[in-house]
Every structure is written in structure tokens, then in C-alpha cells.
Structure 1
Amino acid sequence: MLLAGCSISVAPDNQTTSANTGAPAAAAHWTKETRAQLRQAIDARAAHGLDQMAFASNAGDEAGVTQQALAYAAALARGATDPTKLYEVYTVPRPNPDLRAGLANALRANDVKGWLASLAPADQNYTRLSKAYLALRQQPGTPTPAIPVHGEAIKPGAVDPRVATIARELVVLDYLDQRSAQGDRYTPTMAKAVQQMQADYGMKPDGVIGSAVLAILNMSDTDRARAIAIAMERLRWLERTPPATRIDVNLAAARLTYWRDGKIADSRKVVVGEPDRETPQLGSPIFRLVANPTWTIPRSIEGETAAKGAAYLKANNIARKDGWLVQQPGPKNSLGLVKFDMLNDQAIYLHDTPAKQLFAMIQRQRSHGCVRVDDALGFAEILAHDEGVTDQWHQARATGKETFVKLPKQIPVRMLYQTVLFDDAGEPIVRNDPYGWDDRVGAALGFKAGKALRVETRASDEGP
């Protein structure tokens, strides 16, 4: 039986096609050897965190084997799940290789193994995740927590053998500095960190480490393996060669990374949408800088602002214009002094904010959906310089009025969600899942529900 698409001319990377201008290619058949290669590749799928999914490779006829091969290839090349079906909004660019043509070439070259190996991400982070996942899966299948839950609650000042492990977990979650994670004494510095975490998770911030605090800090190897498998899946969703100049925003960690010509040029904190008003996963470019922006308050939150009364509106320079509440430029404007205009249907953009105190918080999922940038004026200065519009930008700011500065080239922005980061040694560390978005990916990959690490935040102002 012939493989569909076998007469298509395929580029050297086996992932793109071109017009067939020559004689028809030779028929592509499955052989005993190529079937064995497929079987071996599927048997080794744990390297990609896909061992909870069934990719049966024992069908007898060629059509069945072909479909199995294409299903596994698609999981490696684009992800075993479809983020556009898992989430209401997902517009981050995705890979789209011609898998039928690639398989046809692989069969003719008798190298299905090599072709499948070329489909998954080849970057260092994916490799690290794969190694960590395999190591965790080799551990005894036990959900035993790292921190024993027996014993009395730990109060500030107490000495307890569990404190050292608790301190390490607080470091992972960014509540404690590494230098303060020493010894078995529950220090005032640690207590302050625990109180901040308790507040973020909706608990009474008394600093006492009881069962509720340990439930947040405790993560079994099973939970870590699940999170790492999900992280690999999210990487498979992404195009293999992203734009060399771009801005990536990790919504889970609330951090922004600016890439310029393939190198990290800047990284800073951001504030993103709070739970239930999540910032969507978008692929959307910045096309202009806006100096001294006005803010037209969206209908969805207009009521919150109007309810504060006329005195509040006047004090914050907000008035009704053409049926909308509009805040004029100035230091109290909720967009701050600069807005980074983006092209998308969700009215999501980056901007400054007068609420600078939010950047000092650990859990920064506290906006109504847009992304607030720490030292946004400094970041705008960097972009203006790199794009050659510094003079125009300075002139626009000097007007004191809303003024637009178009960028010569649009800068792609990717709003991503990644709950696994890497420490200084390159080891993966599992962070919290503030939106609960790991659950739907994990379930689609065949994992049982994991331990939820959920923050409880409410927006502290009316800003976007």
C-alpha cells in the first residue's frame, strides 16, 4: 500500500514541501526494519513525557501503521494536545510541518527513527526537561511528600528538622532568598516569607507552618514529573525557530524577557491578569509606543470605576466622553506614562502603571488582563533606541499629550505560560500554577490530577 503524499518533493529537513517538478518519487512502503524503528521510538516516548498516552504500534496493515506513525509524529512536532481547543484563546505561532511528506521521505531513506527524532524541540531546555522527567519516573512510584506532615505545627523561633526542606521550597517559590535558607531554626526572616505566602494563598498570615502551609510546599516526585511533562508539551506547541528579536512574557512567573538578535537583552518583572481575568496566551506584535496615553475604560470594568463616585472620578481625571469613561494623561493615569500598543482582538497590551508597589509582590497576577511592565519608561527607552526612534520618542513624551510613535518594525510578543523554570545550575524547578492551566494539559496527556498550587488575588485598582 502506498503512503499518501509519497510523490511530493520534500526539503532536506523533511518538514516542508515544494512543488513537484520532476518525475514521481519512488513508492514509500513499510518494511520490517522501519516498523521496528517506529515501535522502538514509541516505546521510548517517556523521553518526551508521553508515556501516559497510548500510541499502539502493532497494527498489521500499512494504513494502520501509517496512521500510528503520523499520530506520534504529530505529538512530537506540534504537541499531543491542541492548545486552541484547550484554551478559549491561543494565538501563539505554532509549527506546521508536512508530516506525510516527511514520513514518505523517511520510509524511502529507511530512517523512520531519525525522522521522528528530528521533530521534537532540540534546544537545551527541552533536553534538560527530558532528563529530569526520566529521572523522576525511575523513582519508586510513591507519592510520599518531601516534608513530613506529622508532628506539631512549627511556630516562629522553633527548631525543627523539617525547616531546612521548607526553606528550600520557599526559595523555589521566590518567597525566600537563598542566603536565608540555612539551618533548622525557624527564623523571623522565614516567618515573614511564610506570612507573605499565606496571604497570597488566602490563608490567615500568622506565620505558623501547619498542614495548610505544608500542603502548598509539599510536592511529590509524581507532581514534579507531571509538571515537567506539561512543560515539554508546551515547548512542542512552539515554533522551533522563533523570531530572533521578540518579547516573551511568562504569565505563570509574571516575567518579561526581551530578545534582540537571538540574545537576551533585558528581563524584568510584570504584573499580569489575576485568576478569573487571566491574560490570554497570545502571539501579537507591538507596533507603536504611546507617550502620555489616555485610558478608555472598558465596559467590563466601567461599573467598578463609576461606583466610586463623582469625587473619585474628578480626583483621578476621569470624565465621560462619547459615552465612555476616559482617563486623561498624567501621573494618576492607570496606563502610566507609556503604552506599548499591540495588534490583537482581545485589546491586550503592555503598559506602565502608577501602582509600582505591585512589582514588589511575589504573586503578580493582579491586573484585569493587560500586562504592566516594571520601569516601563526604561523599557520604552530601550525599545526606542534599538528601533532607531529615540528622538521621536523624546519629542512625544515632551508634549505631555497622547502621542504615537510608530516602530519601523513590529516586535513580536508571545504571551506564554510555563510553570517550570531553571535554576542557575540549569536544573528545572517547578513553580506554582496561578491560573490552574496545568490541569487541562495534564489531563489531556493522560496524567491524574496533580497538587494544585493556586494563588488567591484580587486586583488592587481599576487599571487594565
Structure 2
Amino acid sequence: MHSIIGHSKIGHSKFGTSVALALLLAACNTQPAEQTAGSNASEAAQPAQWSDRTSKQLRDAIAARADHGLDHLPFAASGSDNAALTKQALDFAGALARGATDPAKLYEVYTVPRPDPDLRAGLAAALRADDISGWLNGLAPTDANYKRLSAAYRKLSRQPDGPAPAIAGTGEAIEPNAVDPRIPAIARELVVLDYLPAEGAQGDRYTPAMVAAVRTMQADYGMKPDGLIGNEALAILNMSDLDRARAIAIAMERVRWLDRNPPATRIDVNLAAARLTYWRDGKIVDSRKVVVGEPDTETPQLGSPIFRLVANPTWTVPRSIQKKELASKGAGYLRANNMAWKDGWIVQQPGPKNSLGLVKFDMQNEHAIYLHDTPAKAMFNMVQRQRSHGCVRVEDALGFAEMLARDEGVLDEWHKARATGKETFVKLPRQIPVRMLYHTVLFDEAGEPIVRNDPYGWDDRIGSALGFKAGKALRVKSDAADVGP
């Protein structure tokens, strides 16, 4: 799989997913819509005058809205006069430029920067130029992967209503070593979901490697891990063309939410895939696994910068974890884990047992969300890594901190801070923006959209707002294994 920009191959993930997490995280480097609006404020303030030509251009653009997965929304005009056409144009332009939905209303928390073009000025300029088509075409993302999503959606939308599942059920479970014509399709889905290496998808026999993959998947979703492919397992693996079309329309909407010109140096975290991408000067330089919030304590979609590295951090246990996880623990547990009461709070001192590990990446937000190390390294070997209480645990966090410190010119200060063995802060000379995003569609190496699972069940609210019927949203089992943040 590859990033939405370029074809860099970095990391060590199965079948090339190391860079795929950047899919839909980058947004394209198109010019902001307001730059097409004209610069003369007095001209922009003139009443917009519609002609037969521009009215037809607007009608044609709305008729082709399936190109953006918006064909389940009407965008109907309440009349044919100047005011009605203007409102219709602004509604449709807003959907292209910023999304047809408002993520801040769909989610309790959404602070990722969004586009904010001056659509009224843009419309006025387009009407003066007699070119509504050109203006509208410049509002939506124009990068290659958005176009691939569009093409895939149009292809799926041409299928008959209510298409049959790709993997039909027969009423009998597929047992280990059985030969079944559905096995190749099942193996492909196991590869897509990261449960099976690509080389394991061969032939039509239910191999031991596939059995192990199915057992892991069953455990992740709270099923009995017996390795039998019955109706429950098929419900996870099976996705109809209708499900795929809905997921791709949602993916396009999420991309439209994003700033077309994100910071060239930044960190993007895909919560759905539990992967991190580090961009430096517009290029992907690192990609690694993370552990994010479990379904009952989801990591919110934030735009929040890292402003300092913390060596040998202490951890002040939040009240929620203190009450839920530690209320029944005695003094012996606290001593064994290097914890003590301080000013009415439980504080864990620096050391190898500290739940933040050996480094914390301090971020500026009111939700106490940050990146950090962890002593629970085994969690990075899980396929479904939605396992924390909300913060983001980084694979080889010390190596990542070393990379950031070197790139920001504070490597010596970082080494000295680590050597103290005490909590020590190293301020970065410039803040590094972080975007916590949620994307369930990636691309394979051939550039085809791949629909992944929806661990938080967050696709449904967007799909409903876009006019789709509810799809399946199978959630991972909620069972965080430790008391860490």
C-alpha cells in the first residue's frame, strides 16, 4: 500500500502497509479555494448575476455529484431566481470545499484544522468570469488518490441495488484443511485486514496459517477463537459492494474536511489503522505502529502540536483510571509499581515500570492526550491496537524521540536529559503539528482503494449524514490490558 502522495516505501509492515496509513492523511497540495476568488473586495461585494450558461453549469455539476460520493444528498434549489441559485451554489461549493457535514457536530471532539475558503467571493468571481464549472472543480481535493476514490465509487455505484455478499454463506462452517472455492476471497480479506501475510493467500485450502489468522481475528472481536469460518467470521470478512461504496464516499468526505495545504513537517496518526506517519518537509520519513484508545475510551480527533520531549517522565494517574483500575489495589501494589500518593493524587515515579515508559511527547490540548512510550511492548504485535485509555503509545518511542531531537537540533540536550534518570524537559525550538485522524480506506500497491475495518464504529454517523443507510460497524473487543493512559 502507498501514501496519498508519492510511492515512498518506509518501515517494515506486512504487505506494504507501513506507508499506507498515510492514505487520506495528507490531503492534496492544491491551492486554497479563496485564491481563485479574485482579490478585489469591492468587485466581490457586487450582487451575483446568473446567466443561462452559469445556471446550466451549476445544474451539470450537481448532476455529476456522484464523482464526490454526494449523490445521496439532493442539493435542490427552492426556485430558479438569483437568490435560490446562489444558495444552491454555495451549499454545493461548501460540500466540496469543506465537506457536506461538520465533524465538530458529528463528534464530541474534532479540532483538526479545516479549509475555510471565502465561497461568496469565489462565487462572485466565477459568475463574473462566466465559469462556475472551473470554480467548483477547484474546490474539492484534486490529488490522484481522491480521483481514484471517485473512480472506485462511480464503478461500485453502477452495480445493481443490494448486491450479494462477495463471500456467500452456506450454513456450514469451513473447517481447518478443508478445500473450498471461497478460500481465495477469504484469504484476500484476511490480508487486507492485516491478519495474514500476502504470501499466505494461496490456493483454495484452509491452511494452518489461515486458521491462526482467523483465530486472532475472532479473539479481537470477542468471538470464540475456534478457527471455524462460520457466519460470525464471514460477517467480519464479508463486505458487499454497497458497503464498499459507502465506505469510499465516507473516505472522500473525510478528505474534504482536511486542509489542502497541511504543514510540510507534521505527524499524522490514523486512529482506525493505529499507525503513525512522520512527514518532514513534505516527505514521509518514518512510519510505525501505535496503540490508541480502546472503543470505550476513544482517542479524539485532535489537531495539537508536540512542544517538548519529556525524558524519564512521571505519571500522575487520572481520576478516571484511579477509580476504575486502582481503587481496589492496596499499598503493596503501589509500592511494587513505584507509585505513591502525592497531594491527593497517585503519582508513578520514573523508571522501567512507568506507564509512560521512558519518554513522553508533550502536546498542547485540553484533553490531556499525548504520545508516549510504554512498557507493554507486546501490544504492538496485535493487529487491532485500539487498547489504551485514550493516549497514543508509540512503537520504539525512544527511537522516535531520538529522530525528532536530531531533526530539531536538540539531540545533545535530549541525551543529557535522559542521562539524569529524573523527569527532565527538552523544549523543541519549533512545535511539530500532530493530527489525530480516522480513516478506514487505504490503497494497495496497485492504487486500488482497500476498505479496512471501523474499530470505533465512527463511519455510521458520517454515512447517515451523507444519506446512506447504516452499514456494518463491527467493533473490536474492549479489553485494555493495563492501567496506562
**TM range, normalised to the smaller chain?**
over 0.9
2:65 is matched with which residue? 45
Q: Which piece of structure 1 moves more, 454-463 or 268-277?
A: 454-463
Q: What is the Cα deviation at residue 61 of structure 1?
A: 1.0
Return the offset for 1:211. 0.7
Aligned residue number for residue 109 of structure 1: 129
Alignment of 1:18-37 (within 5 A): 27-37=47-57
> Taking structure 1 as the reference length, what is the TM-score of the superposition?
0.95
Q: What is the letter of the counterpart of residue 316 of structure 1?
A: N
In structure 1, what is the equivalent of residue 411 of structure 2?
A: 390
- Distance in 1 (CA, whole Å) between partners of 2:461 and 2:230 is 29
Which residue of structure 2 aligns with residue 294 of structure 1? 314
1:365 corresponds to: 386
SS of the equivalent of 1:100 reads: helix
Correspondence list, 1:112-131, <5 A: 112-131=132-151
> Cα distance 1:68–1:21, how it changes in 2: closer, same or farther (>3 A)?
closer
CA distance in 2, matches of 1:336, 1:294: 9
> Partners in 2 of 1:129 and 1:24 — Cα distance?
34
Look up the SS of the partner of 2:326 in the other structure: helix
Find the aligned partners of 2:303 and 2:44 in 1 and give their Cα distance.
39
- Aligned partners of 1:339 and 1:239: how far apart in 2? 27
Structure 1 distance, partners of 2:455, 2:156, is: 24
Asked if the contact 2:38/2:125 (under 8 Å) is kept, the reply is no
Matched, 1:425 2:443: no
Match of 1:90 among 102, 110, 113: 110
**Do the aligned partners of 2:179 and 2:205 also contact (CA within 8 Å) in 1?**
yes
Take 2:188 and 2:311, find their aligned partners in 1: how far apart are those partners? Answer: 43
Q: Which segment is superposed worse, 454-463 or 21-30?
A: 21-30
Confirm whether residue 255 of structure 1 aligns to residue 275 of structure 2: yes
Corresponding residue of 2:222 = 202
What is the total number of aligned residue pairs between the two structures? 454
Describe the shift of the 1:31–1:18 C-alpha distance in structure 2 as closer, same or farther (beyond 3 A). Answer: closer
- Give the CA deviation at 1:306: 3.6
- Given residue 69 of structure 1, which amino acid in structure 2 is its aligned partner? A
| Aligned with residue 84 of structure 2, among 53, 64, 67 | 64
Range moving further from structure 2, 142-151 or 437-446: 142-151
Are the counterparts in 2 of residues 338 and 377 from structure 1 also a CA contact under 8 Å?
yes
One-letter identity of the residue aligned with 1:63: A
Partner of 2:458: 437
- Cα distance 1:327–1:14, how it changes in 2: closer, same or farther (>3 A)? closer
Q: Does 1:378 align with 2:399?
A: yes
Q: Aligned with 1:454: secondary structure?
A: coil
Secondary structure of 1:140's match? coil
In structure 1, distance between residues paired with 2:212 and 2:330: 37
Ranked by relative contact order (alpha carbons within 8 Å, sequence separation 6 or more), the top structure is 2
**Are 2:94 and 2:100, in contact at CA under 8 Å, matched by a contact in 1?**
yes
With 446-455 and 217-226 compared, the bigger mean Cα shift is at 446-455
Which of 146, 157, 167 is equivalent to 1:147?
167
Q: In the alignment, is the contact (CA less than 8 A) between 2:173 and 2:230 conserved in 1?
A: yes
- Equivalences for residues 253-402 of structure 1 within 5 A: 253-303=273-323, 304-402=325-423
Partner AA of 1:247 in structure 2: I
Amino acid at match of 2:271: L
Amino acid at match of 2:259: E
- AA of the residue aligned to 2:337: N
Residue in 1 aligned with 2:204?
184
CA distance 1:42–1:22, change in 2 (3 Å): closer
Residue 227 of structure 1 aligns with an amino acid whose one-letter code is A
Contact 1:95 1:240 in 2 (8 A): yes
In structure 2, the CA distance between the partners of 1:85 and 1:99, relative to structure 1 (3 Å rule), is same
Amino acid at match of 1:64: A
Gap regions ≥5 residues in structure 2: 1-30
The aligned residue for residue 260 of structure 2 is 240
Q: What whole-Å deviation, never above 9, does each CA across 1:318-342 have from its counterpart, x for those lacking one?
A: 0001110000000000000000000
Whole-angstrom distance in 2 between the partners of 1:24 and 1:238? 26
* Separation (CA, whole Å) in 2 of partners of 1:175 and 1:421: 16
How far apart, CA to CA, are the structure 2 residues paired with 1:365 and 1:305? 21
Structure 2 residue 236 is the aligned partner of structure 1 residue 228: no
Match of 1:409 in 2: 430
Q: Secondary structure at the match of 2:261?
A: coil
CA contact (8 A) 1:39 1:57 kept: no
CA apart distance, 1:60 = 1.5
Partners of 1:414 and 1:397 lie apart in 2 by: 27
How much has 1:57 moved relative to structure 2? 4.3
The alpha carbon displacement at 1:431 in A equals 0.5
- C-alpha deviation, 1:28, in angstroms: 3.2
Are the equivalent residues in 1 in contact too, given 2:96–2:256 (CA < 8 A)?
A: yes
Which amino acid counterpart does residue 167 of structure 1 have in structure 2? A
Deviations 1:312-361 (A, max 9, x none): 11100000011100000000000000000000000000000000000000
Taking a change above 3 Å as real, the CA distance of residues 106 and 14 of structure 1, as seen in their structure-2 partners, is farther
Structure 1, unmatched stretches of 5+, are 1-10
Q: Is the 8 A contact 1:339 1:349 kept in 2?
A: yes
Q: Tell me the alpha carbon deviations over residues 237-295 of structure 1, each in whole angstroms, 9 at most, x when there is no partner.
A: 00100000000000000000000000001000000000010000000000000000000
How far the C-alpha of 1:21 sits from its partner, in A, is: 7.3
Shift of 1:127: 1.1
Q: TM-score, normalised by structure 2?
A: 0.91
Kindly provide the amino acid, as one letter, of the partner of residue 221 in structure 1.
D
Residue of structure 2 in register with 1:164 after alignment: 184
3-state secondary structure, aligned to 1:206? coil
Cα gap change, 1:182 to 1:154, in 2 (>3 Å): same
1:218-244 residue CA offsets vs partner (Å, 9 max, x unmatched): 100000000000000000000100000
